[in-house]
A and B are shown apart, each in its own frame.
Chain A
Amino acid sequence: MTNRDQKKVWREKRKMLEKEKNKESIRVGVFVCHCGTNIGGVIDCSALAEYARMLTNVAFSEDNQYTCAETGLTSIKTAIKEKNLNRIVVASCTPRTHEPLFRKCVSDAGINPYLFNFVNIREQCSWVHMDYPDAAFEKAKDLIRMGVAKSIMLQPLEMIKIGVTQEAVVIGGGISGMNTALSLSRQGFKTHLVEKEYILGGRLNSLYKLFPHDTEASELIEDVKTKINNSKNLKVYTEAVVKSVDGYIGNYNIKILQLDRIIDLKVGTIIVAVGASLLIPENLYGYDGKSRITQHELESKLKAEEKISDKIVMIQCAGSRIKERIYCSNVCCMTALKNALIIKDRKPDSNITILFRDIYAPGTYEDYYRRARESGVLFIKYTEDKLPIVEETQVKVFNEYIGEKMILPYNLLVLSTPLIANYDNKELSQMLKVPLEPNNFFLEAHVKLRPVDFATEGIFVCGSAKWPVDVSESIVQGLAAASRASTIISNKNLNFSGSIAEVEESKCNGCGDCRDACVYNAVEMVETRIEFKAIRDSFIPSTALIKHKSKVIPSMCKGCGVCVGICPVGALSLKNFTNEQIGVEIESYLS
């Protein structure tokens, strides 16, 4: 055995001894909950508590009617003081609902909250093995033994505190982004609004009137613009695009390119409000931009007060709800109704037919649809397998309702084409590390529970960037995103769970697998200098070696442990779920 090997062995031994010593001072308290009859009705809880007392390092155990009730919590706190406990195990329901409560309880009693361990003997024992009370009792014993074993291995962890730059950037200056920026600046946060075009307003600039009240779009924009111009905290960058994004929640560094200069922004939160684009229907129903145009082009004509021909056929779902573009674009039905009504208003005797697959006019919009019918607009239903056939001066369509083919002459054909995702969404999503859905719109964290959040904390989304929405919905979402974003930047500091990955540097071989596996970019490879001292009385001079070592950025780590699983040399570990901790659980079950 060489000297070095010998040293290694000693080091290991010393570590072991230290651990043993530490173990001696560990005093576990076990609390078994009856949960009324939910657990107590199947399993003998006092016998369980009795059993727990026999386990190593358990200094105290008892059973409670309801451990989570005030009396139960008080008894935990008293036991901690009186029996000098430093690990707490509660055997009751599920950590998914009650872990925060018990963590807080032990921390109130002066113990680090991460020295608490939960054992589930209700959802995953008494409730599912009602017919086998004896087996359930044995299982509960195993689970408690495993829980106690793990608790002995637990280490105190600190919450991670990070500073927050109390500023925000809003990407996209359409109606949604304008409202977000305005709301944030009014709350007193310095806000940067980045717009690709040379003016604010986005697609609203090209709209004429807005449904359902026929407000002029330009009025609405002007109103918001004036407010923006008058607000002190709000800085607008037009003709500017995001070039790069670095950092994490509370601390982002963003480079934007405005014409030919680069501007650096430091913000705490990012709101994506880039909106959507219009589909140009090349090769669709003979689109030519003259007598066969899009709904949007029709609107521009109306806005410019151009003369509109009086035999009009509109085709809904032109290019949407088909195989390549499976979604409903949400706004086209209402746009068609709106434009039809405007034309009818101007020239009541014009002939308008709308070919549709389904009309989507939810809520009070239904009224709008009714008005269109009353004013004489004709509605004909077609189906996906029998698409209308457009000829030079007429449209042939199979009318689903009467089951007959119809021929409709036209001199203006209007296609209701969908909004599509911006071509550069992909690039932006990669910069922000947020996901897109299959149609390349931005994907929120949860459609119902977190509708304007991204799964990545600190970044939000609103308006048509997420899905085609109309103006009022854009505004609502813009304001929602502003209030969600303010929950971040209203703090000077943020606290995060201490259960994160860490690297044992000496073991790391610098392969970088962990960095590649981390979807949150929480692992980086840093250059480390390893110094070798010159050996005395020899010719070997002192040298240094540059090596790459992985490093976890605590504030970005979400604690999933994927990197731990992938590390080929076992240099990474996930606090609270270390190999050792899981190992003793396995061991104590199977021994």
Chain B
Amino acid sequence: MVEQIQETYFPKILTFLCNWCGYAGADYAGVSRYQYPPSIRVIRVMCSGRIQPSLILDAFNRGTDGVMVCGCHIGDCHYISGNEYAEERVKKTKKILEMLRIDPNRLRLEWISASEGIKFAEVVNDFTNQLISLGPLKKES
């Protein structure tokens, strides 16, 4: 858990979750009461394959400190191969971020199954800490 919610800086993380795994995993974290820092805001999509670079870039443009995309594990996508596209697009978007001189580590892709509530909580915790150490987005550029 993050030590204490920093008064000075607490990151904003926009999170895209696929309905069948990521979102379900986040729900499972809730049902099991796994605590994680209140840094994320969730947007539900049906499949991680729906995500496109423009949405992620839009979020950074508007000042989010990090973006996380969670889908089903490879091979488990409810729509067979949507997550493979997501993987490819996140890779591409990271390259674009680099060109924009935004640290690509601010974009994170995770595979979370419907039963991996604990993993979801850990990932959010870890990402939040990572972003805290990176500092707010604005300072970099």
A131 within 8 A of B: yes
For residues 313 through 338 of chain A, which have their beta carbon under 8 Å from a beta carbon of chain B?
A: none
The reply to whether A589 and B41 contact each other, CB–CB distance below 8 Å, is yes
B74 within 8 A of A: no
Q: Which residues of A contact B35 (CB under 8 A)?
A: 128-131
Given contacts A123-B27, A142-B41, A565-B49, contact A590 B55 (CB under 8 A): no
Q: Per a CB cutoff under 8 Å, which of B12, B46, B86 touches A559?
A: B46
Q: Which residues of A contact B51 (CB under 8 A)?
A: 565
* CB within 8 Å: A-B pair count: 128
The reply to whether A590 and B23 contact each other, CB–CB distance below 8 Å, is no
The reply to whether B27 and A146 contact each other, CB–CB distance below 8 Å, is no
Taken together as a complex, chains A and B put the C-alpha atoms of A123 and B46 apart, in Å, by: 18
Per the CB 8 Å criterion, the residue count for chain B at the interface is 45
Q: How far is the CB of A582 from chain B (nearest CB, A)?
A: 6
Given contacts A435-B80, A582-B45, A586-B59, contact A560 B50 (CB under 8 A): yes
Main secondary structure of the interface of A (DSSP, over half): helix
Q: Which residues of B contact A135 (CB under 8 A)?
A: 5, 38
For residues 108 through 150 of chain A, which have their beta carbon under 8 Å from a beta carbon of chain B?
A: 120, 122-125, 127-132, 135-136, 138-139, 142-143, 146
Q: Which residues of A contact B30 (CB under 8 A)?
A: 94, 122-124, 127-128
For residues 416 through 435 of chain A, which have their beta carbon under 8 Å from a beta carbon of chain B?
A: 435
Q: Per a CB cutoff under 8 Å, which of B26, B43, B78 touches A585?
A: B43
Contact code string A467-509 (vs B, CB < 8 Å = 1, else 0):
0000000000000000000000000000000010000000000
Q: Which residues of A contact B45 (CB under 8 A)?
A: 561, 577, 582
A558 within 8 A of B: yes
Q: Per a CB cutoff under 8 Å, which of B24, B31, B81 touches A127?
A: B31
Given contacts A95-B44, A135-B38, A565-B89, contact A579 B79 (CB under 8 A): no
B64 within 8 A of A: yes
For residues 52 through 95 of chain B, which have their beta carbon under 8 Å from a beta carbon of chain A?
A: 52, 54-55, 58-59, 62-64, 78-82, 85-86, 89
Taken together as a complex, chains A and B put the C-alpha atoms of A400 and B4 apart, in Å, by: 60
Q: Per a CB cutoff under 8 Å, which of A96, A127, A131, A589 touches B14?
A: A589
Q: How far is the CB of B59 from chain A (nearest CB, A)?
A: 5
B107 within 8 A of A: no
Taken together as a complex, chains A and B put the C-alpha atoms of A95 and B18 apart, in Å, by: 13
Counting chain A CB atoms within 10 Å of each CB, the highest count among B46, B82, B85, B121 belongs to B46
Could you list which residues of chain A lie within 8 angstroms of chain B, going by C-beta atoms?
A: 94-96, 120, 122-125, 127-132, 135-136, 138-139, 142-143, 146, 435, 455, 499, 517, 519-520, 558-562, 564-566, 574, 577, 579, 582-583, 585-587, 589-591
Residue pairs across A and B with Cβ atoms less than 8 A apart, 22 shown, are A94-B27, A96-B23, A123-B30, A128-B33, A128-B34, A128-B35, A519-B81, A520-B79, A560-B47, A560-B79, A562-B47, A562-B50, A564-B50, A565-B89, A579-B55, A582-B55, A583-B55, A585-B43, A587-B62, A589-B64, A590-B12, A590-B64
